[in-house]
A and B are shown apart, each in its own frame.
Chain A
Amino acid sequence: MVFTAFLYASLIIFALGLIIKIWTWFSRTIGISAKRISTLERVSSAVKGILGVVFSGKILTLIKVFILDVVLQVKIFKEDFLRWVMHMLIYVGFMLLLLMHALENFISEPLFTNYYSTVNPFMFLRDLFGFMVIVGIAIAIFRRFILKVPRLKTNAMDYYAIIILAVILISGIVLEGAKITSYTEYQYMLEDYADLEDPEEITALESYWVQNFGTVSPNVQAPFEEDVLSMGKDLHEASCMDCHSAPQWAFTGYATAKIITPVALALDRAGTSTILWYIHFIACFMGLAYLPFSKMFHIFATPVSLLANAVMEKNTSDPANIATRQVMELDACMHCGTCSLRCSAASAFDVRGNDYILPSEKMTFLKTLAAGKKLSDRKLSAIQEGVYLCTNCDRCTVVCPAGINLKELWFNVRENLVQRGYPEPLVLSPFSFYRGLHRENISTEDYGRPLADANRAVAGKFEQVMDPSMPISFKDREIVELNQLPSTGTFSYCFGCQTCTTVCPVVAEYENPLQTLGLLPHQIMNCLGLGLVEMATGPRMLWDCVTCYQCQENCPQNVEVTDIFFQLKNIAANNVRKSSEENSSDLEAA
């Protein structure tokens, strides 16, 4: 009764969860691209798209991807053999347990007329499948906590996934062990199947079971007389043998039984089998009910992602379908960390400590963003940095075992984030090269806004230089601390010949360079000479510098002009970061 109630309740929650989740694929949006497409439109585009693929040559691609990537998981195999073994053990083991054991009423019994969970091969197979999953979980724990795969982060969802699987499996195995030893269980069977009345026969069968089947009896104990056992054997063969293979075949349960034998009687009296049975099925039902909301949902979403990405292309696919796919991909991500392991920009994460530089952590954040949760300013600017600090090498997309098209996701989200008005110094660096190549996909207004925000934020004050009638103030003079790198103190060699400015292709580009660039290269060196570091970090010149090194190459005094510019830009960028952090903590305090 309780069992049925729980089963139906969890099935209903599971079904509702599936519907809700799939609904979000069509209703939620990520980034800039899907804003104006309605849910209805997306559903109809998806149906059209799916039908279009199924009734075309692309069906062959789907079949190929299904076999190679979904069933055999070749992508994981190529990436890491140990991980492939882990995943195959869990996934194959669990699937078979589900089909043969959990759904025995619906699958195993109708399929095999001789099906009994206590008869071989089924008894052995159940333990084998369970053992596979256990080994898989052990490898997962080993990888995450002992081997410490680089940049593999473990979040609450990962813990949950490991724990729920472990609870289901371990409770199942211990339950089997407890039942093997249980005298109560033995008694039930005796009453139901043997129907013995002669006390001698009862003792004989019991002795036989204690000897050969691991039952722990309060009445009899080994060693037994030969003739008692042989009588027991006859009775066993008459009443029990048809339904019971040797328990050693259930090797995990039998091993557990042997371990708990010394305390088996106490456990049996405490009703341990019943308790374990409750734990086992409640864990299963909980896992089922919570599945659509947990990482385990990837067992549905990841195949969909792999299949969808195999037949979709950026330029030819319906934008409505791309919008839907991008939301679905968030569910397909199982936080395996392959992308972060292979990320080209990962060294920047080691230095800056911003988790969002790692693609796998960006995905975690995107789930929050797509769910429409509000994020603090500080978090948003950390994420903005993480999303922008990407070399667009596309490696994450190439290696993703779920086939997620991460590069398109990043582009989409990056645009959304940089439009929010938090100045991001990174946009003034070659990290923008990719955005420049793709400017046709962005409106002119949107394209320029983040650049203007950042330029405004890095711009310093140097009006005094612009206006010859104003005396230079030395109020803000600082001790120059540029010598983090070799010879960046070389500005002191400058004797003001202006060669740097003369050879600069950027200066030559403008009609009125001083007005556009703020300070010219030689003036920046002069500022440093005078200790006006803040002023030197402010001019547009620094950010318009094409780093062609003409100034540095041609300087007769070996001033490392370009390298000093890099230093100054670092300082300016840090100042922006600092002041935006101060602003956001002010806001949070208010």
Chain B
Amino acid sequence: MSHVPTKSVERSKIKKEIHMRYALFLGCNIPARVDQYDTSARAVLRQVGVQLKDIREFGCCGYPMRNVDQKAFLLSSAVNLALAEKAELDILALCKCCFGTLKEAEHILKEHGSLQKEVHGLLAQKGLEYTGKIQIKHFLSALYHDVGLDTLKSNITRQYKDFKIATHYGCHALRPSKITRFDDPVAPSIFDNLVEVTGAKSVDWTRKLECCGAPVLGFNDDLSMNLTQKKISSGKKSGADYLCSACPYCHLQFDTVQKMMVSKNGNDPLASVLYPQLLGLCMGMDEKALGIHMNQLDISGVTSFLEP
């Protein structure tokens, strides 16, 4: 044998591999409506050495059920958590609402009440068990904490120049911070750092940490779109060229819903780029592979900010 790795090298390699393997949690919106988030996130993660496993039995996280049936929400989340636990993998969620909901369920299931007992019973009927062994991570936190900015940097081949991005953090990742533990709820920085790795400038904007409006779309469209409008106006005021999001709900709100809005009010849109699209372009990935053309609002202009 020409090459025999030393023991310590072998061990660190194993550790890294275990560390960088997740069960990918897509949720319901991404496969049906934001496929480009799926493909671009996979491409980027593959590039930086993250392995993903698809668990076919994953279902809804329970987020939309919270308004009317807490038990249905809790069981939905618990099934997914138990499935990941069975596969002995941490969850990597692309959607912030999925992430927040799963975290909330994790928090609730730490207690021992009658509802929890019932949910554990229903899990047992399906041959599943959840003991809280696995971690739930959002795509951004995995990139920031597990992959690390240095690894990202080393994979970047072309940086952006004179490019201003307004990062949208997303409520359900940020708050309640005691439960989600995503970032500092008042002065978060993960997303900004991830954006600045690409050479783009993350601008300060007043409504950075506010709601995108998506949670009430479909039953209070005026409220929903007013909130969206305020975010867009604030983003524009800050001089941002694009919004950047990492959640299908927020993205659909800034993309599909904003398109509906501009078709009525005739405003110039402030389009949203999904973070893995932004990052992928810097890693020299194909526009098509990143689904740049799949956004409803045209974001092809992003490439013009790339350094030659």
Contacts and interface: CB of A to CB of B under 8 A. Distances in A.
B176 A566 contact: no
A187 interface: no
A54 B91 CA distance: 48
B220 A544 contact: yes
Interface in A234-280: none
A347 B75 contact: yes
Contacts of B232: none
Nearest to A486: B111
Contact of B70 (A392, A550, A570): A570
Contacts of A407: 32
Interface string B108-123: 1011011100000010
A439 B32 contact: no
B62 interface: yes
B64 interface: yes
Given A395-B31, A547-B171, A509 B223 contact: yes
Interface stretch (A301-309, A420-428, A528-536): A420-428
A344 B60 contact: yes
Contact of B68 (A346, A426, A506): A426
B134 interface: no
B76 A347 contact: yes
Given A350-B122, A484-B113, A552 B175 contact: yes
A428 B67 contact: yes
B76 A436 contact: no
B203 interface: no
B71 interface: yes
Contact of B32 (A352, A392, A567): A392
A433 B249 contact: yes
A351 B31 contact: no
Interface stretch (B15-23, B36-44, B157-165, B209-217): B209-217
B28 A392 contact: yes
A429 B59 contact: no
A345 interface: yes
B28 A391 contact: yes
A430 interface: yes
A440 B261 CA distance: 12
A562 B218 contact: no
Contacts of B115: 484-485
B114 A544 contact: no
Contacts of B131: none
Interface string B187-230: 00000000000000000000000110111111111011011000
A548 B59 contact: no
A200 interface: no
Given A345-B60, A436-B219, A436-B224, A548 B175 contact: yes
Interface in B19-57: 27-29, 31-33, 56
A573 B67 CA distance: 8
B218 A570 contact: no
Contacts of B75: 347-348, 350-351
Given A435-B218, A505-B210, A553-B176, A348 B65 contact: yes
21 contacts: A344-B60, A345-B60, A345-B76, A394-B32, A430-B63, A430-B249, A433-B218, A437-B256, A437-B257, A440-B260, A451-B219, A485-B70, A485-B113, A543-B67, A543-B220, A546-B211, A546-B227, A549-B174, A552-B175, A562-B176, A563-B176
Interface of B: 27-29, 31-33, 56, 59-60, 62-72, 75-76, 79, 97, 107-108, 110-111, 113-115, 122, 125-126, 171-172, 174-177, 185, 210-211, 213-221, 223-224, 226-227, 249, 252, 256-257, 260
Sort A-B residue pairs by CB-CB distance and give the 7 closest, nearest first: A432-B218, A436-B218, A393-B28, A549-B175, A391-B28, A430-B64, A429-B67
Interface of A: 150, 342-348, 350-352, 389, 391-395, 398, 407, 425-437, 439-440, 451, 454, 484-486, 505-506, 509, 543-544, 546-550, 552-553, 560, 562-563, 566-567, 569-570, 573
